[in-house]
């Protein structure tokens, strides 16, 4: 009995020791304590020749050291004697100089032991002993990096313009009509009469390269839904203001752009066969073939289950499909690296990213037939983003996730593939997520990778085979750790199916005591458009401050989010209410088996926007597990939110599943403690989405808390909202009054 009483007393004491004023003070101090505490964490190369560059190494506290690197040999050395240069510079300028705080923005080697340096907008010559001022800059002090854009070349017919390529014709708008003008004779021809409805025409048209035809866009109006917001407390006057903006919602009649084909002179319009582009969501990305025989454009059918690259014959108006991406669920047309198109005019080919085999991969398509010439990448990993297309070398540089099977599949790696020999060359292998900077001639890349628990490591690699030349810098966290920083923990556990790995991170208080029990708060966002758990290093993730109030804070990506393949992603289809919760709960239970300090009887969740919607849904549908939730500016009902986001995942037309998954409809199922937050001037998600939840909760006689922020936009952020969120979880999960003195 005594032992049992002692255990109770100890538990009460532990609870009372969390969420105090000192916890709040410590949490709020972390940003300043951790700032600028990591050294050797970045390299910004300045190339002075195709094989040589310099950079400034970060020594912390505004201090730096300059280095020269020879990419061919991998040799790197300190660029000069910093103390000697500082002394010479101080003597020359009659001003003291700190050897580690000289700000040098140009270094140009001239010979073996001579440098030209630009310091404080003045050029100097330095040979290691003598410093002398120069009359001007060296002939060439930097080589500009190679442009590595994956955008299409702006060839003939690539950009819209009112004037034809040969300069003879001009398209104008006159009293709403579209008129073609012969600039030589002044003669004009009405091509499109003023629209009967409230539509309009674009005078910037897509001209054929030979100036004989053009495509004009008709802007077809939709229903024109507007949302009104009342600003209760404007800064410039006493009386409230009414604001309104266009805001289409699922199921609305939507505007779109219809292409029209014309020849110059007085010829009539050439009708385009619309059979393959019925029920449009959008049409665009129009481009003429170099020989002016046809043009292509991308058509996205409403419902987002069909995306086509269509080709229209300039003479007949006949339209055929060159590329089609279709899915019984959804085509993620808006995702980075998804449905990506690059036309190669010289060979009449196109590059296209597709998930047709279950993973986002690159395909080479013959645009004369529409046939796939070859699949360039394949395997259980995804192309994340295309960085560069070298049409002459017939190579594509891209980023991939999951290409190293033994690493976190969300880590981005840089790769290259040939259009003619589709064997992927993986250029990076460090265990972390990568960013790359390329040399001016593309022969070298400077790759920097990091993890939440690893400061940035920067390497020089060969772009040909990805071979490591030399490690340039490795981030040093010694000072950061001395300031009390605790690295987030990476944790992997099986999801709902018992087979699929789910990846997340865990933040513990900086004063974590493994003998204590801690409630858990999940930082939640499950928007299907991407993945959201942090992967890269930061001195302060937002979860850390929150953890220092006495919580273990977690963040993870469950099924239904992107970057893990089509089957993983498809879980969200017409099923946003799922939110990945079966994976999240399984992951948390697995974590608790490894971490005895976790108390799964006290689990909270917070999220904003789509995360606000599912944070509340956690209490509606999983109230046996989650005990408290903060829902900030939640979407709550997919029928009242923006059309483009919701129809992408919930489908079109609007069906009964929209209502069935609404937090408004399901409000009566609320279990646990809920704080709703909304900003009065939210233009992203109408504030009425939250107010309708409030109304439904009142009608269901449910207790909840509500924080309304006048004048605030989406997220309703700020120190007051943060403090209210912190206080709520301290009260509900620690069961103490927050911010009291210990």
pLDDT for 346 beyond 70: yes
pLDDT of res. 4 = 30
Tell me the H-state helices in 622-687: 643-650, 656-660
**321-334: pLDDT as tens digits:** 999 999 999 999 99
pLDDT of res. 672 = 98
Question: What value does the mean pLDDT take over residues 140-168?
Answer: 75
High-pLDDT (> 70) share of the chain, %: 96
Query: Could you tell me if residue 512 is inside a domain?
Result: yes
pLDDT for 422 beyond 90: no
Query: Is the Cβ–Cβ distance between 55 and 437 less than 8 Å?
Result: no
**Which pLDDT band holds residue 741 (cuts at 50, 70, 90)?**
confident
Statement to judge: residues 100 and 53 lie in one domain: yes
From residue 728, alpha-carbon distances to 11, 85, 519, 628, 640 in Å are 21, 57, 13, 9, 28
**Which pLDDT band holds residue 145 (cuts at 50, 70, 90)?**
confident
pLDDT of res. 138 = 85
pLDDT of res. 708 = 98
Query: Could you tell me if residue 372 is inside a domain?
Result: no
Statement to judge: residues 550 and 687 lie in one domain: yes
> How many CB atoms neighbour CB 111 within 10 A?
7
Which of 253, 288, 323 marks a domain boundary?
A: 288
**Cα 129 from Cα 107, distance rounded (Å):** 17
pLDDT for 6 beyond 70: no
pLDDT of res. 137 = 85
pLDDT of res. 12 = 36
**Which pLDDT band holds residue 14 (cuts at 50, 70, 90)?**
very low
**What CATH number is associated with residue 678?**
3.40.50.1820
- State whether residue 35 is helix, strand or coil: coil
Query: Could you tell me if residue 429 is inside a domain?
Result: no
pLDDT of res. 102 = 94
pLDDT for 302 beyond 90: yes
Query: Could you tell me if residue 703 is inside a domain?
Result: yes
Question: What value does the mean pLDDT take over residues 132-150?
Answer: 79
pLDDT for 15 beyond 50: no
pLDDT for 7 beyond 50: no
Which of 288, 314, 331 marks a domain boundary?
A: 288
**Cα 360 from Cα 350, distance rounded (Å):** 16
**Cα 701 from Cα 705, distance rounded (Å):** 13
pLDDT of res. 239 = 97
Query: Could you tell me if residue 539 is inside a domain?
Result: yes
Query: Could you tell me if residue 597 is inside a domain?
Result: yes
pLDDT top residue among 144 and 181:
181
Statement to judge: residues 543 and 688 lie in one domain: yes
pLDDT for 144 beyond 80: no
pLDDT for 388 beyond 90: yes
Statement to judge: residues 491 and 528 lie in one domain: yes
Query: Is the Cβ–Cβ distance between 370 and 320 less than 8 Å?
Result: yes
* CA nearest neighbour of 523 among 535, 509, 505, 498: 505
Query: Could you tell me if residue 139 is inside a domain?
Result: no
**60-91: pLDDT as tens digits:** 999 999 999 999 999 999 999 999 999 999 99
Statement to judge: residues 24 and 73 lie in one domain: no
**Which pLDDT band holds residue 206 (cuts at 50, 70, 90)?**
very high
**394-412: pLDDT as tens digits:** 999 999 999 999 999 999 9
Q: Mean pLDDT for the chain?
A: 94
pLDDT of res. 151 = 65
**216-250: pLDDT as tens digits:** 999 999 999 999 999 999 999 999 999 999 999 99
From residue 411, alpha-carbon distances to 289, 540, 565 in Å are 38, 20, 14
Question: What value does the mean pLDDT take over residues 686-700?
Answer: 98
Statement to judge: residues 573 and 686 lie in one domain: yes
**DSSP structure class, residue 152:** P
Q: Find the largest Cα–Cα distance for the chain.
A: 107
In the chain, how many domains are there?
3
High-pLDDT (> 90) share of the chain, %: 91
152-159's contacts with Cβ under 8 Å and 24+ in sequence apart are 152/287, 152/342, 152/343, 153/345, 153/391, 155/209, 155/290, 155/345, 156/209, 156/288, 156/290, 157/206, 157/207, 157/208, 157/209, 157/287, 157/288, 157/289, 157/290, 157/292, 157/295, 158/287, 158/288
Statement to judge: residues 548 and 640 lie in one domain: yes
Query: Could you tell me if residue 441 is inside a domain?
Result: no
**637-679: pLDDT as tens digits:** 999 999 999 999 999 999 999 999 999 999 999 999 999 999 9
Statement to judge: residues 179 and 72 lie in one domain: no
pLDDT of res. 11 = 37
Question: What value does the mean pLDDT take over residues 473-502?
Answer: 98
Statement to judge: residues 538 and 683 lie in one domain: yes
**Structural domain harbouring 563:** 12-35+484-734
Statement to judge: residues 59 and 26 lie in one domain: no
Statement to judge: residues 126 and 253 lie in one domain: no
**106-134: pLDDT as tens digits:** 999 987 789 999 999 999 999 999 999 99
Which of 254, 271, 288 marks a domain boundary?
A: 288
* CA nearest neighbour of 457 among 436, 445, 471: 471
Statement to judge: residues 68 and 212 lie in one domain: no
**533-566: pLDDT as tens digits:** 999 999 999 899 999 999 999 999 999 999 999 9
């Amino acid at each position: 009995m005594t032992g049992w009483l002692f255990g109770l007393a100890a538990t009460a004491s532990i609870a009372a020791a969390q969420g105090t004023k000192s916890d709040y003070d410590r949490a709020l101090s972390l940003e300043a304590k951790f700032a600028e505490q990591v050294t050797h964490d970045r390299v910004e190369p300045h190339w002075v020749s195709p094989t040589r560059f310099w950079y400034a190494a970060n020594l912390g506290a505004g201090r730096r050291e300059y280095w020269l690197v020879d990419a061919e040999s991998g040799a790197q050395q300190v660029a000069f004697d910093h103390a000697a240069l500082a002394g010479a510079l101080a003597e020359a300028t009659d001003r003291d100089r700190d050897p580690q705080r000289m700000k040098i923005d140009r270094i140009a080697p001239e010979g073996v032991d001579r440098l030209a340096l630009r310091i404080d907008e003045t050029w100097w010559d330095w040979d290691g002993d003598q410093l002398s001022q120069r009359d001007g800059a060296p002939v060439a002090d930097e080589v500009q990096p190679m442009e590595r854009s994956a955008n299409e070349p702006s060839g003939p017919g690539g950009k819209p313009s009112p004037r034809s390529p040969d300069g003879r014709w001009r398209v104008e708008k006159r009293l709403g009509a579209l008129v073609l003008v012969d600039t030589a004779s002044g003669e004009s021809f009405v091509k499109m009469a003023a629209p009967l409805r409230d539509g309009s025409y674009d005078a910037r048209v897509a001209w054929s390269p030979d100036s004989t035809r053009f495509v004009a866009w008709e802007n077809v109006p939709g229903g024109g839904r507007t949302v009104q917001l009342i600003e209760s407390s404007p800064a410039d006057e006493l009386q409230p203001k009414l604001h309104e903006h266009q805001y289409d919602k699922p199921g609305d009649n939507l505007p779109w752009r219809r292409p029209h084909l014309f020849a110059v002179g007085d010829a009539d319009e050439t009708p385009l066969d619309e059979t393959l582009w019925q029920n449009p969501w959008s049409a665009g990305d129009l481009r003429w073939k170099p020989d002016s025989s046809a043009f292509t454009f991308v058509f996205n059918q409403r419902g987002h289950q069909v995306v086509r690259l269509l080709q229209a014959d300039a003479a007949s108006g006949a339209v055929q499909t060159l590329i089609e991406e279709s899915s019984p669920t959804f085509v993620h047309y808006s995702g980075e690296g998804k449905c990506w198109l690059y036309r190669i005019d010289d060979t009449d080919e196109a590059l296209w990213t597709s998930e047709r085999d279950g993973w986002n991969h690159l395909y080479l398509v013959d645009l004369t037939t529409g046939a796939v010439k070859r699949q360039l990448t394949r395997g259980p990993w995804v192309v994340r983003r295309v960085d560069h297309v070298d049409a002459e070398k017939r190579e594509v540089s891209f980023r991939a996730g999951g290409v190293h099977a033994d690493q976190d599949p969300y880590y981005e790696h840089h790769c290259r593939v040939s259009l003619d020999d589709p064997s992927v060359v993986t250029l990076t292998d460090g265990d972390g997520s990568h960013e790359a900077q390329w040399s001016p001639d593309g022969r070298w890349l400077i790759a920097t990778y990091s993890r939440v628990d690893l400061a940035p490591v920067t390497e020089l690699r060969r772009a040909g085979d990805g071979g490591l030349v030399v490690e340039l810098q490795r981030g040093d966290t010694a000072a950061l750790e001395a300031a009390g920083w605790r690295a987030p923990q990476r944790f992997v556990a099986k999801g709902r199916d018992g087979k699929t790995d789910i990846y997340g991170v865990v933040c513990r208080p900086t004063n974590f005591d493994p003998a204590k029990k801690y409630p858990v708060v999940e930082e939640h966002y499950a928007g299907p458009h991407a993945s959201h758990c942090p992967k890269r290093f930061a001195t302060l993730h937002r979860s850390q401050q929150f953890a220092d109030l006495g919580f273990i804070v977690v963040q993870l990506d469950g099924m239904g989010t992107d970057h893990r393949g089509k089957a993983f992603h498809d879980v969200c289809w017409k099923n946003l209410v799922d939110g990945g919760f079966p994976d999240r709960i399984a992951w948390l239970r697995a974590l608790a088996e490894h971490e005895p300090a976790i108390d799964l009887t006290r689990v909270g969740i917070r999220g904003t926007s789509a995360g606000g919607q599912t944070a509340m849904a956690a209490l509606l549908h999983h109230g046996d597990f989650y005990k408290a939730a903060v829902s900030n500016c939640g979407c709550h009902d997919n029928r009242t939110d923006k059309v483009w986001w919701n129809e992408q995942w919930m489908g079109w037309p609007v069906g009964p599943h929209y209502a069935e998954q609404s937090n408004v409809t399901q409000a009566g199922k609320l279990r646990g403690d809920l704080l709703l937050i909304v900003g009065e001037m939210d233009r992203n998600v109408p504030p009425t989405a939250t107010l309708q939840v409030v109304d439904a909760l009142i009608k269901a006689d449910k207790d909840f808390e509500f924080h309304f922020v006048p004048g605030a936009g989406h997220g309703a952020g700020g120190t007051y909202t943060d403090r209210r969120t912190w206080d709520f979880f301290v009260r509900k999960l620690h069961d103490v009054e927050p911010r009291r003195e210990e």
